Amino acid sequence: MAEPQIIWFRNDLRLADQAAVRAAAAAGPVIAVYVLDDETPGKWRIGAAQRWWLHYSLVALAADLKKMGGALVLRRGRPAAELAAVAKAANATAVHALHHYEPWAVTEEAAVAKVLDLTLHDGAYLAPPGTTKSGSGTPYRIFTPFWNALQHAMPPGDPEPAPMIRFAKPPKSDDLDDWKLLAADPDWSGGFDVWTPGEAGAHAALDTFADVAADYEHGRNYPAKPLTSRLSPHLHHGEISPAQVWAAISGRGEGPVSYRREIGWRDFAINIVQQFPRLGDEPNRPQFADFPFRDDPKGLRAWQRGRTGYPIVDAGMRQLWTTGWMHNRVRMIVASFLTKHLLIDWRHGERWFWDCLVDADYGNNSLGWQWIMGSGVDSSPFNRIFTPVGQSEKFDGGGAYIREWVPELAKLPDDAIHAPWDASPMALKAAGVDLGKTYPHPIVDHAKARARALAAYAETKG
């Protein structure tokens, strides 16, 4: 009789188009295991919003396995020790898993490989990280040539359906509720009901996006329009594969072509992580190591809570706090505001996103913040400073996004909602807005903040 095969799930919580599941099922009876590891990642342990998502994604995966006659074994601790314990109880030695590339994931895999027969499979990205290289064989550090090269290897292979699985008798499992993944202080997940974690939820989201994907190119920058995919948390948790997304949106015009670049950026980010494992902690450009950031706890708190006095910034931060997600255009606006208008260290923003985003991906999050800061290997220059009012007028002209997330400004006319401090006293009174009371004055003047940021940058360039 074939030896039981352990499937080690991590951020790959699906059964279809999952190479580790397919290989394990072909080799023998299966034991499905998820290990919650809060130790190996250190300060990069998953944040509160991700923990909420993980709880419900594990519920969905366990239900899918149960329908097939199996169960999901839950363990908490170091993966090598917990998987070894499962293997001993099940008389198994073989472990199958998808390959992950975050620095702590690499550490985990090496530790498991020392005690068990670990086979790692590709499938978390469009192409295996490290395989897209220049003609001279070096890894890319600039996105556009990386993307051009990656496209030569596309499309990815056809997605595979979930295999037939025979299950071995599972050993003892933790109770998911005992992990208290839903506990948060304060409980800011009241708006998370807009999400449906799990493989079925991922495919429902993909179906919804596929219907509007043709409009993605011209609508993706407008936060009030429902034209973004909202697939990022499903991709991050591996409830759907990039190949499945690629296949579903093929043949639907220019919009999908543009969206594929976003999936390609995800591949690019993890390739940069391979080259710079400390991407989330250290600037890629050495001249930013001693950048003169300001220590401003009050400003940081105002930014976190959406109380900066700049409506588009506050709308984005409140959307994040309420739903665990923020429109990508607005992510750039709020990140630029924190790092340049307030001169607060980008790592404070990165960590806030890590805790509050349901799609908080180490590569994407770190690369995005360094892109805005200008400290990344491929980044926007520091002196590109987003003008909040200009961005707001351009991408939320009618103010619909602001009205949704900053309701105290909802009655302001379109020409006043982007900069209420410039509105007439009559317009403010008619809208029920009392600046400084019902809505804050701007915590910083744009022109002065811009000049201060450029001066700090000049000092850095020294």
pLDDT digits (tens, 9 = 90+) for 35-62: 999 999 999 999 999 999 999 999 999 9
How far, in Å, CA of 393 to CA of 307, rounded? 19
Answer whether 329's CB lies under 8 Å from 342's CB: no
State the pLDDT confidence band at 115, using cuts at 50, 70 and 90. very high
pLDDT, tens digit (0-9, with 9 covering 90-100), for 334-386: 999 999 999 999 999 999 999 999 999 999 999 999 999 999 988 889 999 99
State the pLDDT confidence band at 408, using cuts at 50, 70 and 90. very high
> How far is the first Cα of the chain from the last one, in angstroms, to the nearest whole number?
70
Answer whether 333's CB lies under 8 Å from 366's CB: no
How far, in Å, CA of 188 to CA of 192, rounded? 9
Answer whether 124's CB lies under 8 Å from 98's CB: yes
Among 185-194, 212-221, 277-286, 344-353, the least confident range: 185-194
Whether the model pTM is above 0.75 = yes
Tokens of 25: 């099922």
pLDDT of 448 above 70: yes
How far, in Å, CA of 140 to CA of 220, rounded? 26
**Residue 187: per-residue pLDDT:** 63
Comparison of pLDDT for 391 and 214, the residue scoring more: 391
Mean pLDDT of 179-208: 87
Mean pLDDT of 398-406: 98
**Residue 236: per-residue pLDDT:** 98
Residues in the chain: 462
pLDDT of 256 above 90: no
In Å, what is the CA distance from 236 to each residue of 124, 217, 265?
Answer: 9, 22, 13
pLDDT of 257 above 90: no
How far, in Å, CA of 306 to CA of 311, rounded? 8
In Å, what is the CA distance from 453 to each residue of 140, 306, 457?
Answer: 30, 21, 6
- The region that residue 256 occupies, defined by phi over 0 for left and psi between -120 and 50 for alpha, beta otherwise, is alpha
Q: Which of 220, 40, 210, 12 is nearest to 112 (CA)?
A: 40
Answer whether 93's CB lies under 8 Å from 116's CB: yes
pLDDT, tens digit (0-9, with 9 covering 90-100), for 330-348: 999 999 999 999 999 999 9
Q: What is the mean pLDDT of the chain?
A: 95
Answer whether 246's CB lies under 8 Å from 200's CB: no
Answer whether 229's CB lies under 8 Å from 209's CB: yes
**Residue 86: per-residue pLDDT:** 98
| Amino acid making up residue 379 | S
Mean pLDDT of 393-420: 97
- Percent of the chain at pLDDT > 90 equals 91
Q: Using omega within 30 degrees of 0 as the cis cutoff, is the peptide bond preceding 163 cis?
A: no
**Residue 186: per-residue pLDDT:** 54
Burial of 143 per CB tally in 10 Å (0-12, 13-18, 19+): buried
Q: Which of 309, 307, 308, 350 is nearest to 331 (CA)?
A: 350
Query: Could you tell me the domains of the chain?
Result: 5-123 (3.40.50.620), 125-158+198-275 (1.25.40.80), 286-461 (1.10.579.10)
Contacts 24+ apart (CB under 8 A), 182-187: 182/51, 182/52, 182/55, 184/48, 184/51, 184/52
**Residue 189: per-residue pLDDT:** 55
State the pLDDT confidence band at 253, using cuts at 50, 70 and 90. low
Mean pLDDT of 99-104: 98
Mean pLDDT of 145-168: 96
Stretch (H or E) spanning 384: none
pLDDT, tens digit (0-9, with 9 covering 90-100), for 10-30: 999 999 999 999 999 999 999
Q: Which of 462, 460, 459, 442 is nearest to 342 (CA)?
A: 442
How far, in Å, CA of 49 to CA of 176, rounded? 16
Angle CA 236–274–77, to nearest 5: 60
pLDDT of 396 above 60: yes
In Å, what is the CA distance from 163 to each residue of 15, 279, 306, 458?
Answer: 8, 37, 47, 59
